[in-house]
Amino acid sequence: MDRLQFEFTMIASNDGKSNTLAITSISTEEGKCYVLPDELKPVIHHKYIIKLNTFSKIKNSIKKRYQTRKIWIKLDEDLKKTYVDEEGNMQFLDQYLEEMSTKQARDHDDSLHQILEKLIESTSKKETQHNLKHVSEKFIIEKFTSKNPNAVQWIENFEKECERFNLTKDETRIDILRLFLEKSCLDWYSSMVIKLTVNSEWSEWKDKFLETFQNRGWDMVTTAFAFKYKEGLLIDYATKKERLLLDVNRSMDPKTMTDLIATGLPGFILNKLNRDELNNTTALFNEIRKYEGMMFKRNSTLVKNSTFPYKNKTNEKKPCKTCESLEKGIRYHPEESCWFKKNKNESEKVIKVKNVNNNSIIEVDMNTEKKNE
């Protein structure tokens, strides 16, 4: 017996948390297979195997749990005394090894293959899920919510991103779609999983998506066309309106889009632009950035005036109440300097003086009559 075939397998350790390299079986050149007891399988017990030059290559070949390699090893004196006794019986330490029949060996190999297939399948699923999440982070589309104005355009962009990363399987697209839905859209996805399942065709999912979220009204169109500059940076307004217009019609020609964005600018800015030189939105954006400083000064002046509202109110002219009470019309002048108020006061004084004088005359006449009596 010049050589033996050792089957090396990465098995779980006793705690189940780590891996241990083990020798699970030994085969002879005659085709006989012998199994080692569980407690003697770890390779740490096989000191002469560990000393072999090929052992490092064996370790590098088996890194994942349940991976296996069958290696022929030429027997030197130490190995021969360790695994074969003088009569040719297979042994290890103080035990004779159990011989497996051909059927048992085949069943043993089949069970190992089944375990390996299940492990590879579960591992590939985990790796696929991990890879999908990793790939989704590279997608250059925003997450979809029910507030998104254009579901048709969004789903088309989603399909293009899937093609860019070679995600062609229907099941994969359906699975990764979940990572780009938010809020109530996730509830819709959960309902579709129950109705259609993730194993259905992508085209069916796409049709249901558009039936649910496609906007068929005019709100999106009127909002995009009527959007105008109110405050802030001009470039912020321009890029925002460009996005709104693209949501309405992504094939709109550049000149028309440029005109629509420009018409929403303040009038005094619009009059400074040369329409013939602005053939696309990039040229428009470069041009309006020249007037950001002008808008900043204008907005600062408006803020300054609105900061002192009470000062402006004190300077407002109010109608004279005296003129209103005397039915002299609405006149705007200080009430204390009103001409009608002065005349009114003087006339009241004259009336009082006359009353006093009349009373005095009456009193004198009455006293005179008393003396004559």
46/338: higher pLDDT: 46
Does residue 346 form part of some domain?
yes
Does residue 112 form part of some domain?
yes
Same domain, 327 and 291: no
115/265: higher pLDDT: 265
Indicate the average pLDDT of the chain: 81
Q: Is 287 in contact with 273 (CB distance < 8 Å)?
A: yes
The band of 370, judged by pLDDT with boundaries at 50, 70 and 90, is: very low
Same domain, 55 and 85: yes
Does residue 36 form part of some domain?
yes
Same domain, 104 and 179: no
Q: What would the mean pLDDT of 309-319 be, rounded to a whole number?
A: 59
| Top mean-pLDDT range of 338-342, 348-352, 360-364 | 338-342
If residue 360 lies in a helix (H) or strand (E), which one and from where to where? Answer: helix 339-372
Local structure of 181: helix, strand or coil: strand
Q: Is 49 in contact with 21 (CB distance < 8 Å)?
A: no
In the block, tokens 């195997």 appear at 49
Tally the domains of the chain.
4
Q: Which domain holds residue 258?
A: 237-297
| Residue 363, token pair as written in the block | 């009193």
Does the pLDDT at position 353 exceed 90? Answer: no
Does residue 65 form part of some domain?
yes
Same domain, 106 and 9: yes
Local structure of 75: helix, strand or coil: coil
| Top mean-pLDDT range of 17-21, 39-43, 217-221 | 39-43
pLDDT at 127: 42
Does residue 169 form part of some domain?
yes
Q: Are strands 68-74 and 33-35 parallel, antiparallel or unpaired?
A: unpaired
Q: What would the mean pLDDT of 201-229 be, rounded to a whole number?
A: 88
Domain-ending residue, one of 62, 95, 116:
116
64/360: higher pLDDT: 64
Same domain, 52 and 87: yes
Same domain, 37 and 76: yes
Task: Provide the CA 254 distance to its chain's centre, in angstroms.
Answer: 29
Q: Is 63 in contact with 8 (CB distance < 8 Å)?
A: no
Does residue 308 form part of some domain?
no
DSSP 192-228: HHHHT-TTS-HHHHHHHHHHHH---SSHHHHHHHH--
Same domain, 102 and 160: no
- Angstrom distance (rounded) from CA 181 to CA 185: 6
344/297: higher pLDDT: 297
Same domain, 194 and 282: no
Cα Rg of the chain (Å, integer):
49
Same domain, 104 and 157: no
Does residue 303 form part of some domain?
no
pLDDT (tens digit per residue) in 117-159: 665 555 445 445 547 888 888 898 999 988 887 888 899 999 9
Q: Is 183 in contact with 145 (CB distance < 8 Å)?
A: yes
Same domain, 11 and 88: yes
User: Which residues are CB-contacts of 53 (< 8 A; sequence separation ≥ 6)?
Assistant: none
- pTM more than 0.85: no
Q: Backbone phi, then psi, for 108, in 5-degree steps?
A: -65, -45
Same domain, 243 and 331: no
Considering only 55-64, 116-125, 158-167, which range has the smallest mean pLDDT? 116-125
Same domain, 21 and 111: yes
Does residue 162 form part of some domain?
yes
The band of 362, judged by pLDDT with boundaries at 50, 70 and 90, is: very low
In the block, tokens 């190999």 appear at 109
pLDDT (tens digit per residue) in 238-295: 999 998 898 888 889 999 999 999 999 988 888 889 988 898 999 999 998 888 888 7
